[in-house]
Amino acid sequence: MRYGTARNDQRDAGLLLAIKKAGSITELAAELDISISAVSQWDKVPVRHCEMISVLYAISPRRLRPDVYDHGLKRKLIRDEWSFS
């Protein structure tokens, strides 16, 4: 089994596409300069990483996070994602 494939059934399509284009979770983590374990825990691409993944792998932000970019919720989700309360 390749590293990181055990949870593929729990990951959304945008994240799976990013991993596929990167080649692996390890390579995606390296490109984003974050830990492999951080990426391994994702069920979907965090909003704060959408722009970089979009640029690196020519994937539209809408494909990575349609829940954010299709419904005009980006500002609210970014605020919620960074909220510590």
Range of the domain at 39: 8-82
More confident residue, 1 or 48: 48
Amino acid 68: pLDDT: 85
Number of domains composing the chain: 1
Q: Average pLDDT of 38-47?
A: 95
Q: Is the pLDDT of residue 37 over 50?
A: yes
Residue 8's pLDDT band, with cuts at 50, 70 and 90, is low
CATH code assigned at 16: 1.10.260.40
Rounded to whole angstroms, the maximal C-alpha distance in the chain is: 39
Q: Average pLDDT of 55-65?
A: 95
Q: Residue holding tokens 């390579």?
A: 27
Would you say residue 77 lies in a domain? Answer: yes
CA distance 73 to 84: 19
Amino acid 70: pLDDT: 75
CA distance 85 to 82: 9
Residue 1's pLDDT band, with cuts at 50, 70 and 90, is very low
Q: How many CB atoms lie within 10 A of CB 60?
A: 12
Q: Would you state the structure tokens that stand for residue 1, as one six-digit string? A: 């089994």
Would you say residue 39 lies in a domain? Answer: yes
Q: Average pLDDT of 45-61?
A: 95
- Stated pTM of the model: 0.74
